[in-house]
Amino acid sequence: MAKSFRCRLVTPTASVFDEAVAYASIPAWDGLFGVLPGRAPILARMGAGELRVDFPDSSKGEGGSRSYFVEGGFVQMAGEQLTVLAERATPAEQLSATDAQKELDALMARSIPDGAKDRQAQVDRLNRDRQCARQKIALARAQKGI
């Protein structure tokens, strides 16, 4: 059995990475799931959260993990290739808990008027954005060891 599989992370604006990985933790819209080499094929809708990839150890002392904050998109495992098509992907080390907190504060201050057109859709979007900001804060703090 293979010890790694190819993983590609792509956004509408860039190919973020394309490397061999040993494991990937995917934030699907309905919860996290893991991918190991040899996994059965799957196509899933992603939510917002931490995408973590673990790299195989090598004779060069490589290995370790890398995390990204991803928002929306789709993921497909076919054969020995995982393709992550994300609406947005930010390396976790580039997240700022302070900036994410400001984003959350602004979102918490917003409200949708009772008579607004498509009010429920706007409320749902606002709640998703708030949850996304909370997840950014958590990931940024985890990266800094807070």
Q: What is the tens place of the pLDDT at every residue in 41-77?
A: 999 999 999 999 999 875 555 668 999 999 999 999 9
13-42 burial by CB neighbour count: b if 16+ within 10 A, else e?
Answer: eeebbeebbbbbbbbeeeeeeebbbeeeee
**pLDDT tens per residue, range 2-54:** 789 999 999 999 999 999 999 999 999 999 999 999 999 999 999 999 999 99
In the chain, the domains with their CATH numbers are 5-92 (2.60.15.10), 96-144 (no CATH)
Whole-model pTM: value is: 0.84
